[in-house]
Every structure is written in structure tokens, then in C-alpha cells.
Amino acid sequence: MNSTIRRDEFGRVFGILTVHKPVGVTTHDLVNIFKKIFPNQKIGHTGTLDPLAEGIVLLLLGKSTRLSSELSKKNKTYEFGIAFGIESPTLDLEGRISFCAEDPKLDEATVKEKLELFPSMYTQTVPLFSSIKVNGNKLYKLARISKNCVIVRKNSFETLRIFDKNEGYREINLPSRTVQIFNKEFLSFGQTNLRKLVNSLTFSEKILDDETIDQLNEREKQEFYNQITYLRNHAEKKLESLKTALLNLKLDIDRQVYTTHLRAEVSSGFYVRKFAEDFAESIQPGYKSITFSIKRLNIIF
């Protein structure tokens, strides 16, 4: 979808910006920099991307923010990489990484077969590290403040068990939702190691295309370039800190792990990180995986 920036008779902007979110920044970071480019204007979005994900985010300007609910329901297309035999509470490279005790042999034929058999509609439990609220609390905040918590799988349901020194153990049923996979495509299978996965995390500066930049006035262009410089420095520091932390783990970071790249068109509310975990579970019960790359290619209209 092409960006459209319009201005009313009072000079107030409205329209839809198609923005490429880089790795290492949050969707909220993007909203904040565009609030500086378009001061005193409402700015919203149609759905977040994980900090380590990249790709298309739609930002809504001015009176176009009223379209948020409608546009957030659109299907999306993702391309993503899954690393098997690794687990992390965040289901990606942001969490505390560990290797599975048992790492079964895996081959391309098995991955293709299991992908073909994976249901096109299923009940997906939201990841623990997500912004979904339970009893008024965002799940990721609960996870961060609760040092002693574990997810317990009961049949097809998952429960967060938290230890509280005053209340003892308490359990929270993690929300779930029905999601659909309209198209799924196998792209590749191979092996790599944690060192290479971590070093592949890089910042991309192509946040707006040239046609969209041409729609900005001179002040807005200058502010845009200033904000991109700030964003790049912020992201590179964050990624460097993450890389240092991961590479300093007491793990064999050169240990070979199986990986696959997939592409899928999915319904609104679909979590790629959770699908990666569910897909590994479908290969063998108890098998773990994380995503090491997620790219949103398209929002389907």
C-alpha cells in the first residue's frame, strides 16, 4: 500500500503512512518520531511488530486514526526464520537462551511434511511476552516482575504459574484465540549456530520510500532525517547490548542447530513467535524453537 499524506485547509495532516520498521526499535518508537515530524497531530497504528521483527507498519495520521479498528483486522504476510532445539521465554533472541537437552535429528522432508499437516485453523495461546492484558495487567509486565514463573501446558491450554512470597503459587490462564493460516510456504532448511543468528541482527534505515519522503515539506524532511539518526543510534546500542549479552552466555554458541525459513499469510492476531513454538511441538512433543527473524511483507487489502 502506497503512503498518502494529505492536508486540510488548516494545514493539518491526515492519511496513511506505510512505514518499514527496522530491527531493534519498537512500534511505539516509530510513533514517537513521527509525532515530532508532525507535531500536535494524532498518530496511531494498525498493529505492532516485535522489537526484533521488521517490516510494514501502517501509521495513521490525524483524522485517519479512526480507521485503526478496521485496518487492524486485515490479513498479513510474514517471512520468518525458526531455529529448532533452542528455547527462550520470549520465544526469540531477546530472552534468556538455552539449548534443549534433547535435540532430535531433523531433515528437510520432515519439516515439509509437518508444515503440510499443520492445521490451517487452530487455537493459539498468546505468548507470555505480549501486550495482551489479563486482569488489567500486560502479560510481559507480569513476566518481568515475576522471577519465579513457569508456563504449564494442560492438554491444549497453557497456564502461567507464578510464585508470590505472600500468596504462594497462583495460576493465570493465558488467553487464546482462533487464528488462520491461509497460505504457508516452505522456503529453506539448513543448519547454523547461535553466533551467526545473533550477528545477523542489523538495523535498516529504509523507513520511508522516496515517494513518501517527497510528500513531506522541508521542515518535516529535516526532522525526519534527524529522527532517523537518533533511531539508528538507539537501535544499534540496543542490538549491540543484546549481542554482547547473548555471546557472553555460558553456552556453546557455535553449536549447530537446525533452521527453516517459511512464508505465510495469516489472520489478524496471529503471533509468529508462538506459531514457531507450536510448530516445533507438532514435530515432536516437548521440542522447542525460537524465531530468529520475522519480516512483515504485506498487509492484505
- pLDDT tens digits, residue range 207-242? 999 999 999 999 999 999 999 999 999 999 999 998
Instruction: Name every residue whose Cβ is closer than 8 Å to that of residue 293 and which is 6 or more positions away in sequence.
Output: 52, 80, 81, 200
| Position 181 in a domain | no
| Position 107 in a domain | no
Alpha carbon 3 to chain centroid, angstroms: 22
Residue 151 has what pLDDT? 65
The residue out of 154, 174, 194 marking a domain boundary is 174
* Angstrom distance (rounded) from CA 298 to CA 46: 13
- Statement to judge: residues 153 and 211 lie in one domain: no
CB distance 186 to 114 below 8 Å: no
Tell me which residue range forms the domain holding 139. 133-174
- Statement to judge: residues 8 and 70 lie in one domain: yes
Residue 164 has what pLDDT? 63
Residue 146 pLDDT greater than 70, yes or no: no
* Angstrom distance (rounded) from CA 158 to CA 131: 17
**Mean model confidence pLDDT for the chain:** 89
Residue 247 has what pLDDT? 79
| Position 41 in a domain | yes
The predicted-structure confidence for 149-162, as pLDDT tens digits, reads as follows 666 665 556 766 66
| Position 25 in a domain | yes
Task: Please give the sequence-ordered ranges of beta strands (E in DSSP) within 194-274, or none if there are none.
Answer: 256-266
End-to-end CA distance of the chain: 8
- Stronger pLDDT, 147 or 176, i.e. the higher one: 176
Residue 219 has what pLDDT? 96
Q: Domain total for the chain?
A: 2
